[in-house]
Structure 1
Amino acid sequence: MVRSRSLPFGKNFKFSEFQTLIADSFTIFWGDWLELRTKLVQIISSGLISPLIYILAFGFGLGSSIKPGSGLSGDYNNYLEFILPGMVALSSMTVSFVGTTFSICGDRLFTKNFEELLLVPVHPLALHIGKMLAGVMRGLMTSLGVILVALVFTRNWNFLNPLFLLILVLSCAVFAGLGVIVGLNVKSLESVGLYNNFIIIPMSFLGATFFDPATLPTALKFVVYLLPLTYASIGLRAAACLPLSQFPWYCLPILLVMAIALSLWGAYVFSHQQD
């Protein structure tokens, strides 16, 4: 079946339709939320496993041999304090992407109820935003669990300041948006594993979660600064540990532009989806 709808952008899309677009987006999100709320404990607990392992292995294990200030920008009491914001970023990426991808892939390939969604008379952009918001909610639920762990170990209440939470939401939006696009294109669950192995896992270690990218050689900096996780990690670390005067404000527009670009791309894919 080919979804026969107008393009997600162009002459057919007027600003007067913005309110309807938002309402439709939340309607799509609400359908996913009704399912998500029955799995809150499962989602939060499963998403906490990897960050906790990293915190134990790198924060307490490797971190004991790394002196604060040795190649780390800013004033940190220990390496654990340095990597905790990165663990929040890592959690937001993994759960937002993987959860969204598997949700859409399962609806398309197994339950076979995805065609019903494509027949709903709403704009393709609303479909993408609604699914993306569900991914954002998944990422936030797990990330807030990591934040609680960070508060226990650091007593740093900056993990709850509005700037930190804004960057966290943008990070979840970027990776949930990417998860929507991948979920719409994969042909099997094995393909999801390939995306995870070649995109998410490498980004987990190269996205400035465990190191300060400012210390890298120029060639490696170019690669690292192409990754959205880098801006999430840098922004979250600065919001949690640095004074406002040192905050890298460029992280906000970069993450926002990425989220918008992925939304437009996802809406285009929805408008041409075949299932």
Structure 2
Amino acid sequence: MNSLLPLPLSKTPKGSQFRTILADTLTIFWGEWLDLRVRIVQVAAAGLVSPLIYIIGFGLGLGSALDATMKPAAGDNYLQFILPGMIALSSMTISFGGTTFSICGDRIFTKTFEETLLVPVHPLALYLGRMLAGIVRGMMTSCSVILVALIFTGKFASFLNPLFLLLLVLNCAVFAGLGVIVGLNVKSLESVGLYNNFVIVPMSFLGATFFDPATLPTVLKGVVYLLPLTYTSVGLRAAAYLPLSQFPWYSIPILLVVAIALAVAGAYQFAHQQD
């Protein structure tokens, strides 16, 4: 069933069309929030287990051996080095997974997704509303990991500065957007598992969460910098520990461009979605 409502909006003035899309986006998001707000604790804790395991196993276990032989590129020790990567990792996992399963549940199990396509709103608003809900999911879990980071380091200014939070929101937007597109295309939950195993899990380890990509050979460095999580991990680490003059400013426009590209693809998918 196609979403048939982008055409009337195209005849309205641009300012009016923008206000309409914004209002429709907030409407779709509010519907998602009504379901999400009763599971705040569950969502906030959902992505905390893996980062905690990595922090204990790598940061405290392996880190104690590494600290005796080398100094990390950012932070006072290896534990501090990986904490921004753990925050990036948790935001990616929950933004993607929560959004994907939410759409899959509506499409495959409850069969209520057709009602969403019949709602008289612009396809872009359908995408943005779902994506905003994914951002909220990711930020909830990220706040839990940030709390853990504050307990281990006590560096409040490092993890609660505007630049750090901006990168975190952009990362959530990218992977929530990817989750929307995957959720619209998969045919079963097994397919979601394939995307998770072949996209999210490799990116978790190759996205500069545990290492400094600057130390890699040129070929591997090119591969690592194809992953959006790399720009988030590197940017968060710089925002937390390094002077502003050393911040990789390119990470912000790259993540923004990826988020916009996903928004275009997601709006097109909603406009042509058949269920």
Mark the CA change 1:222 to 1:69 in structure 2 (over 3 Å): closer, same or farther. Answer: farther
Q: Which amino acid aligns with 1:109?
A: I
Note if 1:90 corresponds to 2:84: no
Q: Which residue of 1 is the match for residue 136 of structure 2?
A: 137
Q: Is the 8 A contact 1:71 1:215 kept in 2?
A: no
Separation of aligned partners in 2, 1:82 and 1:31:
38
Q: Distance in 1 between matches of 2:28 and 2:186?
A: 21
Partner Cα separation in structure 2 for residue 270 and residue 21 of structure 1: 14
Query: Following TM superposition, by how much is the alpha carbon of 1:245 offset from its aligned partner in structure 2, in angstroms?
Result: 1.1
| Structure 2 match to 1:156 | 155
Moved over 6 A (4+): 9-13
Q: Distance in 2 between matches of 1:33 and 1:5?
A: 24
Cα distance between partner residues in 1 of 2:37 and 2:117 = 23
Partner of 1:243: 243
d(CA) in 1 for partners of 2:6, 2:139: 32
The amino acid of 2:132's aligned partner reads L
SS of alignment partner, residue 173 of structure 1: helix
Cα distance change, pair 192–12 in 1 and its aligned pair in 2 (3 A): farther
- 1:35 is aligned to 2:35: yes
TM-score by length of 2: 0.96
Q: For 1:274 and 1:17, how far apart are their aligned partners in 2?
A: 25
Q: Work out the CA distance in 1 between the residues paired with 2:151 and 2:138.
A: 20
Aligned alpha-carbon RMSD (Å): 1.8
1:264 aligned residue: 264
How many Å separate the matches in 2 of 1:129 and 1:233?
Answer: 24
- Deviation, structure 1 residue 3: 2.5
Q: Which amino acid aligns with 2:237?
A: R
Cα shift readout 1:168-203 (whole Å, capped 9, x = no counterpart): 000000000000000000000000000000000000
2:198 maps to: 198
Q: Corresponding residue for 1:102?
A: 101
Report the CA distance between 1:71 and its aligned residue.
Answer: 6.8
> What letter corresponds to residue 26 of structure 2 in structure 1?
F
Unaligned runs of 5+ in 1: none
Aligned-residue identity in percent: 71
Q: How many residues align?
A: 274
Which amino acid in 1 is paired with 2:272?
H
Which stretch of structure 1 is more off in the superposition, 43-52 or 225-234? 43-52
Alignment partners' CA distance in 2, 1:10 and 1:227: 35
Contact 2:103–2:184 under 8 Å retained in 1: yes
Contact 2:25-2:128 at 8 Å conserved across structures: yes
Unaligned runs of 5+ in 2: none
**CA–CA separation in structure 2 for the residues paired with 1:90 and 1:153:** 18
- 1:274 is the counterpart of 2:274: yes
Report the TM-score when normalising by structure 1. Answer: 0.96
Note if contact 1:235-1:248 (Cα within 8 Å) is conserved in structure 2: yes
